[in-house]
Amino acid sequence: MAEAPPQDPIRRAARQLARFPGIGEKTATRLVYWLLRAPQGTAAEMAEALVALKDGVRECSVCCDLTAVRPNETRCAVCANGSRDTRTIVVVEHPQDVGAFEKSGEFRGLYHVLHGAISPLDGVGPDTLRIRPLLERLRDGHVQELVLATDPDVEGDATALYLARLLAGIPVKVTRLAHGLPVGAEIEYADAASLARALENRRPV
């Protein structure tokens, strides 16, 4: 095998940073020059934090939200919090969506994170999503209401409609987050006020 040609460290680092979504070649190069001027150890601190990321984070054994790995605890902080209302579950697409609801401070129940939405164009079907663990949570009949808070786009709607059909035989109230949200918007970016209103106006599906 031929030996790889030596790579320019600036270009090499820039190419790595440009792998982030939303970061182009130009921005990546700017970040690299910033790093070169930053105090000694900055890059090492960053690299260390990034390397520790994968091993330090896991899916909550109950709601599938991402959570820090802790000894003797497989649940996230919300699921482990004894004062939450365990009879209502808000179902969201992404871990970021949980953060949005929590910031609004309007909701005292639990969450379930699907990690995506049904999208045949991207090869994502129900089996790719965390739907089975959700059904598991409904088995003992303790949960009274499921609020489907998937994004109000085509994929989010298909996912909510799929779940509504799937849960039709189970004695749990299923509601869909009302369209108090701007069309085309994502839950993650909604402001607290509109999220609260949407939550208030949830309706049966």
- List residues binding another protein (CB under 8 A): 118-121, 123, 125-126, 153-155, 157-159, 161-162, 165-166, 183-184
Binder among 13, 28, 62, 90 for Zn ion (CB under 5 A): 62
Choose the stretch contacting Zn ion; rule: CB under 5 A; options: 13-21, 75-83, 152-160, 197-205: 75-83
Q: Which is nearer to another protein, 56 or 125 (CB)?
A: 125
15's enclosing H/E stretch is helix 9-17
Crossing angle of helices 9-17 and 25-37, in 10° steps, is 120
Residue 165 Cβ, how far from another protein at the closest point, in Å?
6
Residue 122 Cβ, how far from another protein at the closest point, in Å?
9
Instruction: Give the closest residue to 148 by CA, choosing from 169, 136, 127, 134.
Output: 134
Residue 147 Cβ, how far from Zn ion at the closest point, in Å?
16
128's enclosing H/E stretch is none
- 89 binds Zn ion per the rule CB under 5 A: no
Alpha-carbon span 82 to 92, nearest angstrom: 21
* Sign of the four-CA dihedral 161, 163, 168, 171: negative
Q: Which is nearer to another protein, 67 or 150 (CB)?
A: 150
79 binds, among another protein, Zn ion, none (CB under 5 to 8 A by kind): Zn ion
- 98 binds Zn ion per the rule CB under 5 A: no
Alpha-carbon span 157 to 163, nearest angstrom: 10
111's enclosing H/E stretch is strand 110-113
- List interacting residues with Zn ion (CB under 5 A): 60, 62-63, 65, 76, 79
